[in-house]
């Protein structure tokens, strides 16, 4: 039998027959139209994702009531006018070979724009942990209205051609707000005991079941634990699970976390192992005899197969992995697991981009995601001779995309090994996935037939002799050395010397720079046994705790007793100490036996003027244009290749 025999086995739920146990869970995209209708961009996105071969595709949240949207562009299902667009969504999913479900949703208090308008509703007037504002407490009549709206939405979903619906009872939205004693302080039949707090969800399930009939599958997504101080635990939910099943649930989708959970646990960062949440799904299975979906940073079909084989779950959800590589399951079935582009759980494009209001969904390592309407299938009409200078994430992505489109690509890297900053990014704790991605990317570029010339620094003469038609400059950044008195002392090194092993970590170390480079430098040094002080000139940390990896960095530094000195400038470095100005006061840091410069990089685009002078068509991408994150590097590298 196949090594994926459990994952690839069929499953029947009421009248729905799934070809396998792989699930694409609902993920917000911000791709809907402003009037909550389905956009062409969303159809292109969901069509591509549906080609994953997953047995069940669950469409992202759809508001069951005008009072329940979390963002303006959230898909709507609260009126018949939405059915036509939703029919197209179900149809493209069916074209991909899987079954289609849609998640029925009400945000409750977790809607910033409704809170601003004073229109948000909730079980109680308790402030949102995220938005720090209170919604209005729902009346009994409003509770009945929302319950009815779930039933009507389910009918619309069935009419639109969806094979199932999922009721969203997780992640701190309205049903979860009723379930939680932290957000539900009502003293009527919907508050108090766990049984009373579950009443709202139970009555919604009963209404949905009554509306769609006995043969139509209904899934319920729950956070198995709130993962927040004084929140409910998995053991607290076990007594009510039979009641939820009796009310109409056919599938339990066991997620984790809520709004306000630390470290963005609902989209767990790389600090968490794939499948870390599976045991909670297993706890559910001990209580209820129906299919349970496990979710939790899965990026390997073989690992998912093992979870099903040992009985922790019946289905496994691949969320961010589907964004990173919609073809992951096909590659696994074809015996090509090494070709799977595995999600690195960086959250830059799928979570943080939306949280920071930067736009619509993307994937930091897959530039196709969210840009399906722009993504060229190829081949290019004209094959060009392309030189790419720099084999970091921007250059490697550009090389992959340009070769995929049929261009003649040569990739130059001045160092002895490709990877650029990725060679260092994967060294700090919990970031091995970056090294894995780098190795994957290099291997894929080589499979495309691209010649990677390492140890080559491209010169004016080489360009004159080689006469490339197009040059993509992905030369990255160069180290910044701040002008500090004493910077030339032997005790002063940079983080790249430490990470490469050229210099061993000291005992008492001061890290200059509290941005991402500095914080990860401190993390590495702490792991190596150093006592660390981080000095940052800004008044607030550039590493935001709002984002999952940032939260984890701050937590590890705090737990290790490291100091983070903000609003602090270095006056001078001396043997054994540093003179600093902290919050306007002069202070001395000692003892210090090592100072690590980790203030980051500045763009390196030295060949740009040469290319301009010679009139050679060129693009400057990634850190060579402006030092930023991986997502900007890969997107710019890809778009340069697409534009050829």
Residue that is last in its domain, among 279, 312, 343: 343
Residue 74 lies in a domain: yes
For residues 38 and 87, is the Cβ–Cβ distance under 8 A? no
Give the C-alpha distances (Å, rounded to integers) separating 369 from 98, 150, 270, 385, 537: 19, 30, 20, 27, 37
Residue 573 lies in a domain: yes
Average pLDDT, integer, range 459-488 = 95
Q: 506 CB contacts (<8 Å, ≥6 apart)?
A: 491, 530, 593, 594
Indicate whether this model's pTM tops 0.75: yes
Q: Do residues 323 and 451 both lie within one domain?
A: no
Confidence of residue 2 (pLDDT cuts 50, 70, 90): low
**Whole-number Å distance between alpha carbons of 341 and 297:** 14
For the chain, percent of residues with pLDDT exceeding 90: 95
Sign of the torsion formed by the C-alpha atoms of 4, 163, 246 and 205: positive
Write the burial class of residue 84 (CB in 10 Å: 0-12 exposed, 13-18 middle, 19+ buried).
exposed
Q: Which of 130-134, 150-154, 259-263, 456-460 has the lowest mean pLDDT?
A: 259-263
Q: Do residues 237 and 335 both lie within one domain?
A: yes
Kind and range of the H or E run holding 493: strand 492-494
The DSSP call for residue 207 is H
Tokens read off for 432: 């091995």
For residues 4 and 329, is the Cβ–Cβ distance under 8 A? no
Q: 338 CB contacts (<8 Å, ≥6 apart)?
A: 440, 443
Q: Give tens-digit pLDDT for 197-225.
A: 999 999 999 999 999 999 999 999 999 99
CATH of the domain at 294: 3.20.20.70
For the chain, percent of residues with pLDDT exceeding 70: 100
For residues 63 and 75, is the Cβ–Cβ distance under 8 A? yes
**Whole-number Å distance between alpha carbons of 222 and 128:** 19
Average pLDDT, integer, range 171-189 = 97
Q: Which of 92, 130, 417, 162 is nearest to 257 (CA)?
A: 130
Instruction: Calculate ∠ Cα 457-461-462, nearest 5°.
Output: 55
Q: 235 CB contacts (<8 Å, ≥6 apart)?
A: 283
Catalytic residue of the set 45, 78, 173, 328: 173
**Whole-number Å distance between alpha carbons of 122 and 135:** 6
DSSP-assigned letters across all residues of 73-126:
TSEE-SSGGGHHHHHHHHHHHHHTTSEEEEEEE--TT--HHHHHHT--EESS-P
* Coil/strand/helix, residue 63: strand
Tokens read off for 70: 């979390």
Q: Do residues 196 and 78 both lie within one domain?
A: yes
Q: Do residues 186 and 331 both lie within one domain?
A: yes
Q: Please give the pLDDT value at position 259.
A: 80
The DSSP call for residue 575 is T
Q: Please give the pLDDT value at position 47.
A: 97
**Whole-number Å distance between alpha carbons of 271 and 296:** 12
Q: Do residues 52 and 123 both lie within one domain?
A: yes
Q: Do residues 235 and 315 both lie within one domain?
A: yes
CATH of the domain at 417: 3.40.50.720
Helices (H) and strands (E) in the chain, counts: 23, 28
Tokens read off for 218: 């209904």
Q: Do residues 307 and 399 both lie within one domain?
A: no
Residue 417 lies in a domain: yes
Residue 6 lies in a domain: no
Into how many domains does the chain fold? 3
Q: Please give the pLDDT value at position 634.
A: 98
42 an active-site residue? Answer: no
* Coil/strand/helix, residue 389: strand
CATH of the domain at 585: 3.50.50.60
pLDDT higher than threshold 90 for residue 265: no
Tokens read off for 615: 């009139």
Q: 633 CB contacts (<8 Å, ≥6 apart)?
A: 392, 393, 394, 397, 474, 621, 622, 623
Q: Do residues 541 and 618 both lie within one domain?
A: no
Average pLDDT, integer, range 309-325 = 98
Q: For 559, what's the count of Cα atoms within 13 Å in the CB-facing half-sphere?
A: 8
Residue 159 lies in a domain: yes
Average pLDDT, integer, range 41-50 = 97
Residue 364 lies in a domain: no
Confidence of residue 1 (pLDDT cuts 50, 70, 90): very low
Average pLDDT, integer, range 470-483 = 96
For residues 125 and 76, is the Cβ–Cβ distance under 8 A? no
Average pLDDT, integer, range 316-320 = 98
Q: Do residues 323 and 230 both lie within one domain?
A: yes
**Whole-number Å distance between alpha carbons of 408 and 449:** 9
Q: Do residues 175 and 273 both lie within one domain?
A: yes
Residue 351 lies in a domain: no
Q: For 253, what's the count of Cα atoms within 13 Å in the CB-facing half-sphere?
A: 27
Average pLDDT, integer, range 496-520 = 97
Q: Do residues 95 and 244 both lie within one domain?
A: yes
Q: Do residues 89 and 215 both lie within one domain?
A: yes
Confidence of residue 61 (pLDDT cuts 50, 70, 90): very high
Residue that is last in its domain, among 343, 358, 373: 343
Residue that is last in its domain, among 322, 343, 364: 343
> CB neighbours (10 Å) of residue 400?
24
Q: Give tens-digit pLDDT for 619-638.
A: 999 999 999 999 999 999 99
Residue 361 lies in a domain: no
The DSSP call for residue 622 is G
Q: Which range of residues forms the domain containing residue 254?
A: 11-343
Q: Please give the pLDDT value at position 262.
A: 81
**Whole-number Å distance between alpha carbons of 296 and 253:** 11
């Amino acid at each position: 039998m196949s090594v994926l025999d459990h994952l690839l086995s069929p499953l029947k739920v009421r009248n729905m027959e799934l070809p396998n146990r792989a699930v694409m869970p609902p993920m917000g995209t911000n791709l809907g139209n402003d009037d909550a209708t389905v956009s062409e961009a969303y159809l292109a996105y969901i069509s591509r994702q549906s080609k994953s071969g997953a047995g069940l595709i669950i469409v992202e949240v759809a508001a069951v009531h005008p009072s329940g949207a979390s963002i303006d562009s959230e898909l709507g299902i609260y009126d018949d006018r939405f059915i036509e667009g939703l029919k197209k969504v179900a149809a493209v999913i069916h074209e991909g070979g899987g079954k289609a479900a849609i998640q029925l949703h009400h945000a409750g208090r977790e809607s910033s724009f409704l809170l601003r308008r004073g229109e948000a509703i909730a079980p109680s007037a308790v402030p949102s942990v995220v938005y720090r504002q209170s919604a209005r407490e729902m009346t009994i009549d409003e509770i009945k209205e929302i319950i009815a709206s779930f039933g009507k939405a389910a009918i619309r979903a069935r009419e639109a051609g969806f094979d199932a619906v999922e009721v969203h009872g997780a992640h701190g939205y309205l049903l979860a707000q009723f379930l939680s004693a932290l957000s539900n302080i009502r003293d009527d039949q919907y508050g108090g005991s766990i049984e009373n707090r579950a009443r709202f969800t139970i009555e919604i399930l009963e209404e949905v079941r009554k509306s769609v009939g006995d043969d139509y599958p209904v899934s319920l997504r729950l956070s198995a634990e709130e993962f927040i101080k004084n929140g409910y635990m998995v053991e607290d939910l076990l007594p009510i699970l039979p009641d939820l099943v009796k009310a109409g649930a056919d599938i339990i989708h066991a997620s984790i976390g809520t709004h306000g959970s630390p470290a963005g646990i609902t989209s767990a960062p790389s600090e968490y192992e794939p499948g870390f949440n599976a045991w909670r799904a297993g706890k559910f299975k001990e209580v209820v005899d129906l299919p349970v979906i496990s979710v939790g940073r899965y990026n390997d079909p073989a690992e998912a197969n093992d979870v099903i084989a040992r009985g922790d779950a019946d289905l496994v959800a691949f969320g961010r992995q589907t964004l990173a590589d919609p073809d992951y399951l096909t590659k696994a079935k074809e015996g090509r697991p090494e070709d799977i582009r595995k999600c690195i759980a960086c959250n830059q494009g799928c979570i943080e981009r939306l949280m920071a209001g930067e736009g619509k969904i993307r994937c930091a390592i897959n530039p196709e995601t969210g840009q399906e309407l722009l993504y060229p299938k190829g081949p290019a009409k004209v094959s060009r001779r392309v030189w790419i200078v720099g084999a970091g994430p921007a250059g490697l992505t550009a090389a992959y995309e340009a070769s995929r489109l049929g261009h003649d690509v040569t990739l130059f890297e001045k160092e002895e090994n490709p990877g650029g900053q990725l060679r260092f990014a994967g060294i700090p704790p919990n970031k091995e996935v970056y090294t894995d991605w780098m190795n994957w990317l290099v291997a894929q570029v080589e499979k495309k037939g691209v010649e990677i010339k390492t140890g080559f620094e491209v010169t004016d003469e080489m360009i004159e002799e080689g006469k490339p038609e197009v040059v993509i400059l992905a030369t990255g950044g160069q180290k910044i050395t701040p002008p500090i008195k004493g910077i030339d002392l032997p005790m002063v090194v940079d983080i790249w010397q430490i990470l490469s092993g050229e210099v061993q970590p000291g005992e008492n170390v001061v890290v200059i720079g509290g941005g991402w480079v500095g914080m990860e430098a401190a993390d590495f040094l702490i792991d190596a046994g150093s006592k660390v002080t981080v000095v940052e000139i800004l008044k607030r940390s550039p590493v935001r705790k709002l984002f999952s990896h940032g939260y984890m960095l701050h937590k590890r530094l705090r737990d290790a007793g490291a100091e983070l000195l903000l609003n602090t400038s270095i006056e001078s470095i001396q043997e054994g100490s540093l003179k600093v100005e902290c919050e306007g006061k002069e202070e001395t840091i000692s003892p210090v036996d090592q100072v690590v410069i980790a203030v980051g990089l500045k763009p390196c685009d030295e060949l740009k003027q040469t290319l301009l002078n010679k009139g050679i068509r060129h693009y400057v991408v990634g850190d060579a244009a402006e030092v930023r994150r991986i997502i900007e590097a890969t997107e710019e590298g890809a778009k340069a290749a697409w534009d050829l």
